[in-house]
Amino acid sequence: MGRVGVLLLNLGGPDKLEDVGPFLFNLFSDPEIIRLPFRWLQKPLAWFIASRRTATSQENYKQIGGGSPLRQITEAQGEALKEQLHYLGQEANIYVGMRYWHPYTEEAIALLTQDNIDNLVILPLYPQFSISTSGSSFRLLERLWQEDPKLQRLEYTVIPSWYKEPGYLQAMAELIRQEIDQFPNADQVHVFFSAHGVPKSYVEVAGDPYQQEIEECTALIMQTLNRPNPHTLAYQSRVGPVEWLQPYTEDALKELGAQGVKDLVVVPISFVSEHIETLQEIDIEYREIAEEAGIHNFRRVPAPNTHPVFIRALADLVIDALNKPSFKLSQAAQIKKRVKMYPPESWEWGMTTSAEVWNGRIAMLGFIALIVELITGQGLLHLIGILQ
Ligand SMILES: C=CC1=C(C)c2cc3[nH]c(cc4nc(cc5[nH]c(cc1n2)c(C)c5CCC(=O)O)C(CCC(=O)O)=C4C)c(C)c3C=C
Ligand SMILES: [Fe+2]
Ligand SMILES: [Fe+2]
């Protein structure tokens, strides 16, 4: 089989407070995160939104120690996966490729080309597929593949999503069980699944399978848990004024409080590491909302991180993928209907490589956007629907 590599894809997060601005710029430069009718607006608008959001976002990162733990946890997952694969008789090099911060996907690709990897498994660390997460990373990879003839000689296979993987479901069920068993009336504790939201139009217009995969995943985890507890699914972290998937986490918590629910465990479901949205948003913001709504016993289920059952699930996924016919980036695209997002011929133009952080030229473009904003009396940016 030759040299095997596993490329773990993830979102990335700012390591320190100074990184927050450029990280947000990278994120909002991504056409899969903000969809605009005019591609030339992408970077100026990204600059504009990033600069407006940086201070608030920095405040949140301050509350969790001044940066995202995502890099460290993802690297630890990589090491544990390497060990687990070795134990199962499969040697592999592990590479971490983040979409919006270091180590960038481009850096991971450079490393694995240097190491002369012959066989690559591309494994996004998102159990469910969304255009805005795995889809965005696949799209970037498609572009890197088009640009680099060396990559075209590499055998690779993609795992588009893996929320049904039994080991993952078992790890989630085990983590939930541990939390609910802390309560004297364990069987009555409300199990509250909080998934990261996406704008509703992603699902309804662009055909993002995300909502369906989240719903199915929730049902499978409850089935694996095999307890009589009531459960709810809601969506967190809405950004901007457009409608996102409903119900929103804060509304669902208030409603449960009003119904008299006192004991509740929150399960973060769309992400497999601790990050700002578990440590800050759930543990601080949603806890407060729950408390005010009368849910006095509020616990959160930890993310799988390096839970051995979860790491074993990742290893099984890799080994299965190596033994199956390969699945191509373009197939991942077609099956998930991503092509509906943009006319195929136009997406390359506005595509961002995450290795670009803001510089003078982009700030200039941002300045132009500001002028456009002033001339159009704010209408344009609100129309685009992302400003807070
Ligand atoms: C499956 C998980 C995620 C989906 C789906 C997703 C969609 C999505 N996100 C934004 C905007 C922001 N996301 C931000 C941070 C962030 N997002 C995810 C995961 C998903 N996003 C993670 C894990 C993180 C945090 C990384 C970390 O630092 O620990 C942020 C920045 C933080 C903030 O300012 O709140 C923004 C902004 C959109 C618009 C979107 C779908 C279109
Ligand atoms: Fe996000
Ligand atoms: Fe978010």
Q: What is the CA radius of gyration of the chain?
A: 21
Residue 18 CA to ligand 3 centre (angstroms): 19
Query: Burial level of 265, CB count in 10 A (0-12/13-18/19+)?
Result: buried
Which ligand ends up closest to the CA of 33?
A: 1
pLDDT in tens, 91-137: 999 999 999 999 999 999 999 999 999 999 999 999 999 999 999 99
User: Quick one: which ligand is closest to 239's CA?
Assistant: 1
Query: 194 CB less than 6 Å from ligand 1?
Result: no
- Which of the ligands is closest to the CA of residue 11? 1
- Give mean pLDDT, residues 343-354: 45
**pLDDT per residue as tens digits for the range 248-300:** 999 999 999 999 999 999 999 999 999 999 999 999 999 999 999 999 999 99
For residue 10, the ligand closest to its alpha carbon is 1
The CA–CA distances, whole Å, from 309 to 78, 293, 319, 336 equal 14, 35, 15, 28
Cβ atoms of 16 and 67 closer than 8 Å: yes
Please state the domain extents for the chain.
4-163+308-350, 166-300
Looking at residue 17, what DSSP letter applies? G
Residue of minimum CA distance from atom 3 in ligand 1: 196
For residue 330, count other CB atoms closer than 10 A to its CB.
Answer: 13
- Kindly report the protein residue whose alpha carbon is nearest to atom 18 of ligand 1: 11
Asked whether the predicted pLDDT for residue 337 surpasses 80, the reply is no
Q: Report pTM.
A: 0.90
Q: Which architecture, in CATH terms, is 166-300?
A: 3-Layer(aba) Sandwich (3.40)
- 146 in helix, strand or coil? helix
Residue 37 pLDDT class (50, 70, 90 cuts): confident
Mutation to probe ligand 1, out of 9, 45, 68, 239 (largest number of atoms < 8 A from CB): 239
**Residue 68 Cβ contacting ligand 1 at under 6 Å:** yes
Specify the ligand 1 atom closest to the Cα of 128.
Answer: 1
How far is ligand 3, taken at its centre, from the CA of residue 323, in Å? 35
- Residue ranges of the annotated binding site for Fe(2+) are 196, 277
Query: ipTM value of the model?
Result: 0.92
- The whole-angstrom separation of Cα 151 and Cα 144 is 8
| Ligand 1 and 268: CB distance under 6 A | no
Nearest to 10, CA basis, from 119, 95, 124, 162: 124
- Summarised one tens digit per residue, pLDDT across range 353-364 is 555 555 555 656
Q: What is the pLDDT of residues 69-91, one digit of tens each?
A: 999 999 999 999 999 999 999 99
Identify the pLDDT of residue 349: 40
Beta-carbon neighbours within 5 Å of ion ligand 3: 237
C-alpha pair distances (Å), 216 with each of 76, 193, 210, 230, 249: 28, 12, 10, 16, 18
Say which residue the tokens 């893996």 belong to: 162
- Kindly give the distance from the C-alpha atom of residue 181 to the centroid of ligand 1, in angstroms, as a whole number: 31
Which of 80, 86, 115, 109 has the alpha carbon at shortest distance from 96? Answer: 109
Q: Quote the CA–CA distance of 48 and 46 in Å, as a whole number.
A: 5
The order of strands in the sheet holding 4-10 is: 93-98, 4-10, 119-124, 155-158
Ligand 2 center–CA 383 separation, angstroms = 21
Strands (E), the chain: 4-10, 93-98, 119-124, 155-158, 190-196, 231-236, 263-268, 297-300
Q: For 172-219, what is each residue's pLDDT tens digit?
A: 999 999 999 999 999 999 999 999 999 999 998 888 999 999 999 999
Residue ranges of the annotated binding site are 196, 277
CATH of domain 4-163+308-350: 3.40.50.1400
Distance CA 67, CA 77 (A): 19
Domains 4-163+308-350 and 166-300 in one fold: yes
CB of 270 within 6 A of ligand 1: the answer is: yes
